[in-house]
Structure 1
Amino acid sequence: MVEAKKMSGNIYFKNIRRTIFQSMGRYIAIFAIIALGVGFFAGVKNTKGSMMLTCNEYVNRYNMYDFRIVSTYGFTEEDVSAVSDVEQVSEAEGSVTADFFSEDRIGNSIIIRAHSITDKVNKVDLLKGRMPESDDECVADSHFFRESDIGKTLEVTSENSKQTSDALTYKEYKIVGIVNSPYYMMKTDRGTTSLGDGKIEAYVYMPAKGFTSQYFTELFAVSEKQGFVFSDEYYSNIAKTEDAVINAAESMASKRYQQAVDEAQLEIDEGQQEIDEGRQRLKEEKNSVYGQLNSAKNTLDEQSSQMNSSREQINSQKDSLNSQKQQVVSAIAEVKQQIESLDPQAPAETEETLKTQLLQLEENLSQIEGGLEEVSEGEKKLDLAEGQIKNGYSDYYSNKSKAERSFASAEAELSNGQTEINKAKEDLENFEKPEIFVQDREDNLGFGSFESNADIVDSIAKIFPVFFFLIAALVCSTTMSRMIDEERTQIGALSALGYTPGRIMLKYMIYSGSAAILGCAVGFFAGSKYFPSFIWKAYGMMFGFAPLEFYFNWKLALVSLAVSLLCSTGTTYLACRGQLKHMPAEILRPKAPKAGKRIFLERVRFIWKHMKFLHKVSARNIFRYKKRMIMMILGIGGCTSLVLAGFGINDSVAGIADHQYSEIEKYHMTVAFEQSGEDLKKRFEDEYGKELSNAALLQQTSVNAKGPDANKSCSLMISDDRDILKAVNFTEDGKKISYPGKGEALINNKLAEMLGVKAGDTIELNYDDTKTATLKVAGIYKNYVSNYIYINEETYQQDMGKAYEPSVLFVSFKDGIDIHNISESINEFDGVIGISINEDAKSRVDDMMVSLNYIIILVIGCAGALAFIVLFNLGNINITEREREIATIEVLGFYPRETGSYVFRENFILVLLGIAAGLPSGFALHKFIMSRIVVDAVSFNEVIEPVSFGLTVVVVLGFAFIVDVILRQKLKRINMAEALKSAE
């Protein structure tokens, strides 16, 4: 008995194996459709897991910060230690940053952000070269610099201000390596700066001694407890750590604030004391100097008075002597005359008396002249003394003047010092407390956008797999129903031999279940490996920080297996149950053919009566087997939808560069100048007026725009030049939009969508790290590449408190001008530091969009596989179940070509119906996919060109043709004699 059961079991399983090998086409069809469905489901679903795992491994490997802390005071080692000592913090490290102007490979001015190399947090990923060994070496951004740049130097150009240059220790830095950094996970965004146009092109990392700063400009901290990136556990742990980090940072900031206040007050007190002491010293010195000067002047005055008195005495004496001398001379003359006129006969005594008088007078004259000589000597002495007194007065006035100047200078210095002290006191009263800004990973543009991009892929996984599994269930149901119908006699025989319904049913469930299990296994592993690779390549234009880590979700594998078995064994069970509810005798008899019914077309007499007989048969057969018809239409419709969506993605992506640089940005070139000024345009027009058709002057910088839904980096364009309306086309839905007024901003549609704002709402602009401005959205204009905010000069100066310094021209040239040739001339124009040609930008955008071809290939490839499986399986079933009919018409004399046309005409009609159903759904599917493919810097056109509809039809008909060619070979292999044998 046991031996008989064993033999029976062997025969049973041998029968199953024989069934599989004899109907391998059906088996492979079930295997393939399950593999395709599971592969698509698991692949797209695991893509998010793979992206998340890649991100998690990357940020953990290089210890990306959990918190970035910025203070208006900067940080010291003491601040870093204070944050590091927080219990919930595992690592804390300070970093120095500085932005500076340099030049790219072709000499255009660029802005580079320099970071100090950190050892614990935000470690760099060295790709090529080596790390810096001296303070004047650096490693550079892999997405801007190439391996060939290793060994070259970055120059801190003369365009930098003294403050910028002083922030860096050297004027040149040698590139010794190429790196990635967890701080910059996106390829396209390097942040904003207050320099130049505000756009940072690249970053470098260098030793801390490459900077002159004595303080850290930012502080990074890593939480002790984290968790898988973007998980609830991670956010919960970070939230617990954040308060402690903020408290530590604010505590240190308050301490430093009080310390700074105390130091400032001490300096003020010491300064005031010095000034008070200086005033006292000046007063004493004044008293001393002026006392000495007054004493000297009094002495000179006394001496001068004495000299005047002496002068009067001498003059009086001189006058007296001169008078006496005159009298004596006169007397002498008179006596001499008397002597000469004396009568000779006069007595001798008279002459003698006169001579005695003369002698006496002459002696008196001699005495008088001696007195006059003495007076003359006295005058000389008086003249000398008066000269000395005069010199004394001159020295007095000179010394007094010097003293007055010296005292005035000292008083001015003291007054200036007092003014400075008063200013310092006022500043101290208005001394603001330090502001602490704590950012987490979500505020990092690259990290923050990574999850949303991964969610895009995950959202696609919620729609597509349902469609594939529905087709899989229909394929399995049709395949197994037909197989069970074909083996109806065998089922009846097994039932008559005593096999239970469950035992009989198990055979077919093993058949479909094994195909499903194999398909699920192959599809799961292949899809989990290759689908994420394709999608990661597509996202490579945004994220390229690490190779993809493959993630296998075993729970998802079990779900996939369960769904696969449900699609296969579930439909098998339903098909078998309907067959096994009959008695064995009834099952052993062939099943009556399905009754034909009148179809709607027969009621349209005008058409029906003009149709050929075989065409009428085909029409009846199409509606006779409704299950097969529905499955064919759904399968081909789905294939059509996918193909059209694929071509639509290509249309939406391929055309944006043309639209951007011909319809929106209508200028040909952007010219940046070293110096700003509103005379730039006039000078440029004077030089190139013959070639120009338009030039618009503006200032360009970068800001972070914040709305209800997001915070995004974008370019801020400031202009009052009306020619800006000729350079840029501000329209939405074909309608012109007015340029914004004061306090208003004009933003592009992509930015508005990301921020979650509409016209009339407000947005907040963050600039210069800590400043903000709130503006009203005056309008939203259509734009495809990059994000822009346009404002006028008044808004920039009053609402943002910045000086309007235009240094950029949007330039358009007349037709026939060679843009690249004239750019060489413009590059030599005085003050030009950079030129950007729109045609070159268009080429770069086109190259970037090529990455999305991977998604297009993926979609069209899946569509082709789906179409092939559905067409092949249904065509194979159609031929198998109609072998007697096919053999009959061949016996009746139909040629092979006519037989093929008769058999496949139904397939062709159903393909056309499927295409008709698939085109509208493909249009909707395209819109859905484009709404999920989000690139921050790009707004897609969301258009399907008319030619794509034609290509879709051609592709689907091509798949149908291939299946037709393959299945015609099966028609040739039908044995007419065997097919026409009676089943009874």
Structure 2
Amino acid sequence: MKPMTKNMWRDIGHSKGRFIAIILIILLGVLIFVGIKAAGPSLNDSADKTVKDAKLSDVQAYSTTGFTQKDRRLADKVAGAKAELVKFKDVVGGKDQSAVALYGYSKSAKYNKLSLRSGHMPTNSREIVLDELAKENDGYKLGQTYTFSKSANLKHRTYKIVGFADSPMYIDDSTRGSADVGDGTVRYFAYIPQAQMNLKVATMMDVGFSKLQKKSTFSDSYSDAVNRKVTALKREFKSRAKSRTRALLGNSITQLDQQLAKISAAKKQLQAAGQQGGSAADLAGQQNVTLNKEAAKLKTAKTKALAAGETTYTWQDRNDLTGFQAYGESSDRIAAIANVFPVFFFLIAALITFTTITRMVEEARSQIGTFKALGYAKWAIAKNYLAYALTAGLIGTVLGAVIGNTTLPRIVLALYKTYIPLKWVVKFQWGDIGWALLFSMIATVGAAAYVVWRELTEGPAALMRPRSPKSAKRILLERITPLWNRLSFNRKVSYRNLFRFKSRMLMTIIGIAGGTALILTGFGIQDSIAASGSKQYNDIIHYQATVRLRTAGHEDKADQILNNNDQYHSHTDVAANVGDLKANGHQVNDVNIYAPESVSQFKRYVTVRSASTGKSLNLPKNGVVLTEKTADLLHVKVGDKISVTTTDNKQGKAKVTGITENYMGHFMYLSRSSYKQLLNETPTMNTLLVQLNKQTDKQRKSLAHKLINHGGVMGTSYVKDQQTTVTTMSGSLKPVVAIFILLSGILSFVVLYNLTNINVSERIRELSTIKVLGFYDKEVTMYIVRENIVLTIAGIIVGYGVGELLTGYIMQQAATAQVIFPLTIHPTGFVVATILMVVFTAIVMFVTHKRLQRIDMIGALSSNE
């Protein structure tokens, strides 16, 4: 082994603590950087593999009049399409008469294959497979009998439970969507043999595209490709709706028209008879009344037939499936956090590593001078320290990359318990690993190269002598004479030393501030996500339920049910619609449009206040008020105009008169007069915003059930359910945040220990001197501790500010198209961050005290010359 190589290994052996500290700091930085950056892609890849293995269809279509084989062949005309017909309907069943999404099972089905948790698929006509949620939440077991209500209209009402399964159409176990039966909320799905469903035609059509299977479900390219396919399908089915309607209603409408024509002819004859006067006229009048009643009945029947028989299609893709968008947004939030938090974390680690390597080389001045005096070339000398730095950097990077990439994504996947079991896919993120390696090499090899070449510019004689110590200067505190004179000698020395070594002071403050900020950010992420729901449903929304009427303006039955309910408080009527808004080349879809019957009452149910000033906003007679996120996505401000297109194809333009505070969803508020001007129709009150007293889950379910079955209501949506969704969203990030806080704490401790260790090593002669002069061990320790206490306090205070800025930036990046996360950090975060940093400082000071007790004063004070 060459002398220089031997020297490097001796250096590592003599400074094991520093070498290990460098490895640990790099390891932690790379681990969190690579690990968290890999979590988002792993979530997406795992969900993508799960749904692809289950053959989840790319597009799902629903028809009010069903699909025939002609429809399937029409869909197959789109390039690459393969369509499949399915019988589906929402029914009521089970011991609690719950709303159930019922599907017809077919062995030959190619799409949306179930993943069995237990049991088997139906093998005869009287068997049923239930959602795993039915087992977990409602206690159903294999072998039990399951009974549907009569309204389900099935060939049999009772079936034997033979299996429990998961479906790729329902990846989020916290929700199964809504329905217009039962209590309005689907509890679970079920599959029975397709022949058992009394449906003449299929009600659902699944469409898959072979080329799309090569794309990731959550990628932009997949989304764009699916949108193009949906557009192509709509184009193929553009004229199909009319022909389907004519085919279904042709005979019945013709018969009704014929009967109406006969009545019309009879009325003309009676009119002629009535002109004769006398008893004939009286008889004609009576018969005419009867004919008018018959004509009215026939017209009503014709209107109902047209309404029931009119064919309309609903098209959706994977992103429209229940829970699918929430999952994508959840992984996007982690990806957004990963673009900021780990980078800041890694920068702190790299900065401290740079300082450590710099100090190490500067301490070896005399050794470098000796090598230079012995005739070694600059490169030969530099290689010694570059190899040292390279070894530490590579070990830290490799260990951090492997541990981070293989463990953190799996921990995150394991803790995503609100979703169906996913098939884990964790790939090495080579791009992120490459960036981590680059930054690690800059922090280690780069630091060593910079300092070594700087030292090598000096001559051997200068290098073999210790660098002249910095002279003390008067500090600002000294100019405050009354205060300075009251300080002890030890305190004066400590405060002078703080400003004497400015780079050391700066690095310690940065290290402590960085650790504090990272811990605080961990708490801030969780608090801010939770705050979006808290602010929305406490500060903005003041109603507990939304009730949608079947027929606008007919709320008598619903009123009666509500008034007889003990939890009912009050309600207000609104004309509710859904539309797409456009402005400045941007578009926001599915915006909730509310036009209240009474503006004054509406203010008790929804707070409408300026997002910028916080002042209350009035709904204008001409114009609209948009919520903050909606206006932001449209790039509009007060005074700009927007275009509105409702789901029933009503169009208009309106001026934005206000932008209101809002945290979840898209809303547009306007007065009745504005609604009429905008859409050229009088608004009809079709929705009730209901205030309720505290209810149990059972009471909410009971009220919704009564309203749907007896109150002329299409559905009831509870704010409590939306709050639960937000809570679930926040809870899913808790494990990730806990990992952040844990690793931030470890990094903070290692950084603090390393900086204190450097501080002691640099001043060993100084500390030995005051110990020789008779200072006690505690006094020698306090010589260092006083500086650390001041720097810790300063670092914590700076960390508070940096933590808030970092949290705010992360939450801005994590915001979705539907949600705004307000910057929120509860006092708990500040308290925990402070306590942790104080505890770390105390531990480091204790270790330092023990070390200072064992100082070799003679060796430290011996001359280097």
Category of TM-score, reference length = shorter chain: 0.7 to 0.9
The offset of 1:212, in angstroms, is: 2.4
Shift of 1:29: 1.7
Q: Is the 8 A contact 1:37 1:472 kept in 2?
A: yes
Q: Report the CA distance shift for 1:740/1:855 in structure 2 as closer, same or farther (over 3 A).
A: farther
Q: Matches of 1:137 and 1:969 in 2, distance apart?
A: 74
Structure 2: tracts of 5 or more residues without a match: 263-286
Structure 1 stretch 556-565 or stretch 175-184: which is displaced more? 175-184
Q: Provide the residue aligned with 2:269 in structure 1.
A: none
- Aligned equivalents of 2:670, 2:126: Cα separation in 1: 41
Note if contact 2:522-2:740 (Cα within 8 Å) is conserved in structure 1. yes
1:141 Cα offset (Å): 4.2
Q: Deviations over 1:22-72 (max 9, x none)?
A: 111111221112112211211122122212211321232112222334556
Matched, 1:467 2:322: no
1:223 aligns with 2:209: yes
Q: How many Å separate the matches in 2 of 1:460 and 1:671?
A: 37
Confirm whether residue 922 of structure 1 aligns to residue 803 of structure 2. Answer: yes
Q: What SS does the aligned partner of 1:184 have?
A: coil
Q: 2:501 aligns with which of 625, 641, 646?
A: 625
- The CA distance in 2 between the partners of 1:503 and 1:204, in whole Å, is 75
Partner of 2:556: 678
Within the candidate set 76, 94, 102, 1:114 is matched to: 102
* Whole-angstrom CA distance in 1 between matches of 2:637 and 2:183: 26
1:26 equivalent in structure 2: 18
The 3 A distance-change label for structure 1 pair 156 and 773 is: farther
Tell me: CA distance 1:536–1:703, structure 2 relative to 1, closer, same or farther (3 Å). farther
How many matched pairs? 822
* Bigger shift: residues 677-686 or 570-579: 677-686
Distance in 1 (CA, whole Å) between partners of 2:174 and 2:254 is 53
Is the 2:605–2:689 Cα contact (8 Å) retained in structure 1?
A: no
> How far did residue 568 of structure 1 move?
0.6
Q: How big is the shift at 1:975?
A: 1.3
Deviation of residue 900 (structure 1)? 0.8
Secondary structure, in 3 states, of the residue corresponding to 1:696? strand
Map of 1:863 onto structure 2: 744
What is the alpha-carbon distance in structure 1 between the residues aligned to residue 725 and residue 254 of structure 2? 63
- SS of 2:202's partner is coil
Q: Aligned pair in 2 of structure 1 residues 465, 581: CA closer, same or farther (>3 Å)? A: farther
Q: Secondary structure at the match of 1:225?
A: helix
- Quote how far apart the aligned CAs of 1:573 are: 0.3
Q: 1:133 matched to which residue of 2?
A: 123
Offset, 1:853: 2.4
Residue aligning to 1:528: 405
The whole-number CA distance in structure 1 between the counterparts of 2:8 and 2:755 is 22
Structure 1 equivalent of residue 770 of structure 2: 889
Structure 2 match to 1:571: 447
Give the direction of change, closer, same or farther, for the CA distance of 1:12–1:116 in structure 2 (3 Å limit): same
Seen in structure 2, the aligned counterparts of structure 1 residues 276 and 952 have a Cα distance that, compared at 3 Å, is closer
SS in 2 for 1:149: coil
Partner residue in 1 for 2:863: 982
TM-score norm. by structure 2 comes to: 0.78
CA contact (8 A) 1:477 1:575 kept: no
Q: Render the CA deviation track for 1:543-600: whole Å, top value 9, x for unaligned.
A: 5552542121223323322221121101100011111122223322222223444444
Query: What does residue range 328-407 of structure 1 map to in structure 2 within 5 Å?
Result: none
The one of 113, 116, 132 equivalent to 1:123 is 113
One of 638, 654, 658 as aligned partner of 2:514: 638
Matches within 5 A, 1:872-951: 872-934=753-815, 940-946=821-827, 948-951=829-832
CA–CA distance in structure 1, aligned partners of residues 190 and 220 of structure 2: 34
Question: How much does 1:490 deviate?
Answer: 1.9
Shift, 1:517, TM fit: 0.8
Give the Cα separation in 1 of the matches to 2:228 and 2:342.
39
Structure 2: which amino acid aligns with 1:116? G
Contact 2:130–2:165, Cα closer than 8 Å, also in 1: yes
Closer/same/farther in 2, CA of residues 838 and 550 from structure 1, 3 Å limit? same
Which of residues 827, 836, 853 in structure 2 aligns to 1:955? 836
Classify 1:981/1:196 alpha carbon distance in 2 versus 1 (closer, same or farther; 3 Å).
same
Q: Cα distance 1:443–1:734, how it changes in 2: closer, same or farther (>3 A)?
A: same
Structure 1 unmatched runs, 5+: 1-6, 278-407
In the TM superposition, what is the alpha-carbon distance from 1:265 to its structure 2 partner? Answer: 7.3
Question: For structure 1, which segment, 210-219 or 512-521, has the greater mean C-alpha deviation from structure 2 after superposition?
Answer: 210-219
With over 3 angstroms needed to count, the CA separation of the structure-2 counterparts of 1:515 and 1:714, relative to structure 1, is farther
Residue equivalent to 1:92 = 83
Report the CA distance between 1:871 and its aligned residue.
0.9
Please state whether the residue corresponding to 1:218 is helix, strand or coil: strand
Other structure's SS at 1:121 match: coil
Superposed, 1:716-735 pairs within 5 Å as 726=604, 735=615
2:103 counterpart letter in structure 1: H
Check 1:719–1:756 CA distance in 2 against 1; reply closer, same or farther (3 A cut): farther
Deviates more, 1:847-856 or 1:584-593: 847-856
CA contact under 8 A between 1:193 and 1:702: conserved in structure 2?
Answer: no
- Supply the AA of the counterpart residue of 1:638: G
Deviations 1:788-820 (A, max 9, x none): 78889999999899986778853338xxxx989
For 2:432 and 2:523, the matched residues in 1 are separated by 31
Could you say what secondary structure the match of 1:592 adopts? coil
State the alpha-carbon separation in 2 of the partners of residues 622 and 201 from structure 1: 65
Q: Which amino acid aligns with 1:149?
A: Y
Mean CA deviation greater in 648-657 or 24-33: 648-657
- The 1:42/1:699 distance shift into structure 2, 3 A limit, reads same
Report the Cα distance in structure 2 between the residues aligned to 1:272 and 1:964, rounded to whole angstroms. Answer: 97
Report how far residue 937 of structure 1 moved.
Answer: 8.2
For the residues of structure 1 that align with 2:649 and 2:184, how far apart are their CA atoms? 15
Contact 2:596–2:602, Cα closer than 8 Å, also in 1 = no
5 Å-filtered alignment, 1:35-50, equals 35-50=27-42
Q: Aligned equivalents of 2:250 and 2:534: distance in 1? A: 64
What residue is the counterpart of 2:488 in the other structure?
Answer: 612
1:444-843 equivalences in 2 (<5 Å):
444=321, 446-448=323-325, 450-536=327-413, 543-544=419-420, 546=422, 548-605=424-481, 607-652=483-528, 677-678=555-556, 681=559, 694-696=569-571, 708=586, 710-711=588-589, 726=604, 735-736=615-616, 809-812=690-693
Q: Pick closer, same or farther for the CA change 1:631–1:682 going to 2, 3 Å.
A: same
Name the CA shift for 1:820/1:620 in 2 (closer, same or farther; >3 Å).
Answer: same
Seq. identity, %: 30
User: Is the 2:49–2:423 contact (alpha carbons within 8 Å) kept by the matching residues of 1?
Assistant: no
Q: Say whether the 8 Å CA contact 1:64–1:182 is kept in structure 2.
A: yes
CA contact (8 A) 1:698 1:721 kept: no
**Which amino acid is the alignment partner of residue 358 of structure 2?**
S
1:714/1:787 contact within 8 Å kept = yes
* Alignment match, 1:146: 136
Letter in 1 for 2:168: P
Q: CA deviation at 1:874?
A: 0.9
Q: 1:211, 1:268 → 2: CA distance?
A: 27
- Aligned match of 2:6: 14
Amino acid of the residue matched to residue 18 of structure 1? R
Aligned partners of 2:95 and 2:670: how far apart in 1? 29
Q: Distance in 2 between matches of 1:191 and 1:808?
A: 20
Contact 1:695 1:809 in 2 (8 A): yes
1:698-720 superposed Cα distances (whole Å, 9 cap, x missing partner): 69999687775554597989876
**8 A contact 1:154–1:175 mirrored in 2:** yes
The residue number in structure 2 matching 1:400 is none
Q: Distance in 2 between matches of 1:238 and 1:673?
A: 34
Q: How far has the Cα of 1:645 moved from its partner? A: 2.1
Q: Scaled by the length of structure 1, what TM-score is found?
A: 0.70
